[in-house]
């Protein structure tokens, strides 16, 4: 008999690709996907997948989900949210999932998707970052701090149990179905409030094209389908439990993003990012999203050798191709 896999967050940018990869894996018989909003598996051509309505904040719903699963994949998370909402879902919800899986009799594996952000943004972080580097997080960025806290929680809750625990640490995820990076750019945030003719006109006037400050720091991207193949390898493969960095080959810069999206890149000194980030920390009442500025403070380039070696993972999309595919999808 094949595996039953429970997935929290099956409709997200990673979840959609992950369910597709599990649908294609012969060792998987059934996928139980839990999200708050309903989805129709048949309309996505998913044949093994069933929808379970539920919120990770509801422990009873999580208990019910994991009781029927051999492997649990935890993806439900708030990435772009307020401090309050992200803290509730990401800390309390993730605790529910980790505790429920550890307490349940059936699951033997737990796969959790952390992030490069779990390492935190520190001047003394080595480049490239291997999995040996402690996931310290950065207190000044809610997402980074919460990702590090969840990894600590995971070790605390599952320590001493027989569960096989896999932690994936992807770089920024991108691709035609993962556009959060481009949707978070400043002009995309204001675009819905600008009438269409004016938007078009702005796009045609060179002097008024969107401008992106480029501190010249390269960063990694990973395609959603490559994250999905790593997740499937953790669910059904023979690789040892542990933490795995994930990133596609090569790197891109803000100037590459500008070229791909029709914006202008303006070089700015790296120190300006640190200065701006410092100011953000001093100003009260700013939306939590501005804290993402911290992600650009230091080079965050990961070594992905361990996933390639131990999971047999080979990313099929380079950073440059992934960026191009994401930009195409946004047009």
Ligand X SMILES: NC(=O)c1ccc[n+]([C@@H]2O[C@H](COP(=O)([O-])OP(=O)(O)OC[C@H]3O[C@@H](n4cnc5c(N)ncnc54)[C@H](OP(=O)(O)O)[C@@H]3O)[C@@H](O)[C@H]2O)c1
| Element holding 223 (H helix, E strand) | strand 221-223
DSSP bridge partners of 193: none
Residues whose CB is less than 8 angstroms from the CB of residue 168 and which lie 6 or more positions away in sequence, other chains included: 111, 112, 113, 114, 227, 230, 231, 234, 243, 244, 246
Other CB atoms within 10 A of residue 180 CB = 14
Question: Given the complex with ligand X, which of 14 and 165 has the nearer CB atom?
Answer: 14
Q: Is 165 in the site for ligand X (CB under 6 A)?
A: no
Contact with ligand X (CB under 6 A) among 21, 32, 173, 307: 173
Per-residue binding string, ligand X, 59-98, x by CB under 6 A, is ----------------xxxxx---------x---x-----
Q: Are 260 and 327 in contact (CB under 8 A)?
A: yes
- Block residue for tokens 């390639």: 308
Contacts to ligand X from residues 96-115, by CB under 6 A: 113, 115
Stretch that binds ligand X, among 24-32, 55-63, 127-135, 251-259 (CB under 6 A): 55-63
Give alpha helix (H) positions in the chain: 13-23, 59-67, 83-87, 94-103, 142-158, 180-183, 186-190, 196-204, 224-236, 254-261, 270-282, 305-310, 319-330
Q: Is 265 in the site for ligand X (CB under 6 A)?
A: no
For 189, what's the count of Cα atoms within 13 Å in the CB-facing half-sphere?
8
In the bound complex, what is the minimum distance in angstroms from residue 118's beta carbon to ligand X? 9
Residue 47 in tokens:
């044949």
In the bound complex, what is the minimum distance in angstroms from residue 231's beta carbon to ligand X? 10
Q: Are 74 and 94 in contact (CB under 8 A)?
A: yes
Q: Is 170 in the site for ligand X (CB under 6 A)?
A: yes
Contacts to ligand X from residues 238-257, by CB under 6 A: none
Question: Given the complex with ligand X, which of 142 and 277 has the nearer CB atom?
Answer: 142
In the bound complex, what is the minimum distance in angstroms from residue 204's beta carbon to ligand X? 31
Contacts to ligand X from residues 22-51, by CB under 6 A: 34-37
Stretch that binds ligand X, among 167-175, 254-262, 279-287, 320-328 (CB under 6 A): 167-175
| DSSP secondary structure of 101-163 | HHH-SS--EEEEE--GGGG---TT--SSBPTTS-----TTSHHHHHHHHHHHHHHHHHTTSS-
Q: Is 120 in the site for ligand X (CB under 6 A)?
A: no
Contact with ligand X (CB under 6 A) among 14, 257, 260, 300: 14
In the bound complex, what is the minimum distance in angstroms from residue 142's beta carbon to ligand X? 12
Contacting residues toward ligand X, per CB under 6 A: 8-15, 34-37, 55-57, 75-79, 89, 93, 113, 115, 170, 172-173, 178, 180
């Amino acid at each position: 008999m094949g595996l039953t896999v429970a997935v929290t967050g099956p409709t997200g940018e990673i979840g959609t690709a992950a369910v597709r990869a599990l649908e294609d894996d012969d060792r998987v018989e059934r996928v139980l996907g839990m999200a708050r909003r309903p989805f129709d598996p048949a309309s996505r051509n998913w044949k093994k997948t069933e929808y379970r309505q539920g919120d990770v904040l509801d422990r009873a719903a999580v208990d019910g989900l994991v009781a029927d699963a051999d492997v649990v994949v935890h993806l439900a998370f708030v990435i772009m949210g307020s401090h309050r909402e992200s803290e509730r879902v990401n800390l309390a919800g993730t605790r529910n999932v980790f505790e429920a899986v550890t307490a349940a009799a059936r699951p033997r594996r737990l796969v959790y998707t952390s992030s490069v952000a779990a390492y935190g943004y520190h001047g003394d972080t080595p480049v490239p970052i291997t999995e040996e580097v402690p996931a310290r997080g950065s207190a000044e960025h809610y997402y980074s701090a919460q990702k590090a806290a969840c990894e600590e929680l995971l070790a605390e809750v599952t320590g001493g149990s027989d569960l096989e625990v896999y932690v994936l640490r992807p770089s920024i995820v991108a691709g035609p179905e993962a556009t959060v990076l481009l949707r978070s750019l400043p002009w995309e945030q204001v675009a819905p409030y600008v009438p269409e003719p004016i938007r078009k006109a702005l796009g045609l006037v060179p002097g008024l094209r969107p401008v992106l400050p480029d501190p010249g720091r390269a960063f990694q991207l990973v395609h959603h389908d490559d994250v999905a193949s790593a997740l499937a390898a953790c669910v059904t493969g023979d690789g040892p439990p542990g933490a795995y960095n994930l990133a596609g080959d090569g790197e891109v810069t803000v100037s590459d993003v500008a070229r791909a999206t029709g914006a202008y890149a303006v070089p700015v000194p790296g120190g300006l990012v640190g200065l701006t980030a410092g100011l953000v920390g001093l100003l009260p009442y700013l939306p939590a999203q501005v804290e993402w500025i911290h992600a650009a403070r230091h080079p965050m380039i990961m070594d992905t050798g361990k996933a390639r070696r131990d999971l047999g993972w080979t990313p099929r999309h380079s950073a440059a191709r992934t960026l191009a595919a994401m930009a195409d999808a946004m047009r």
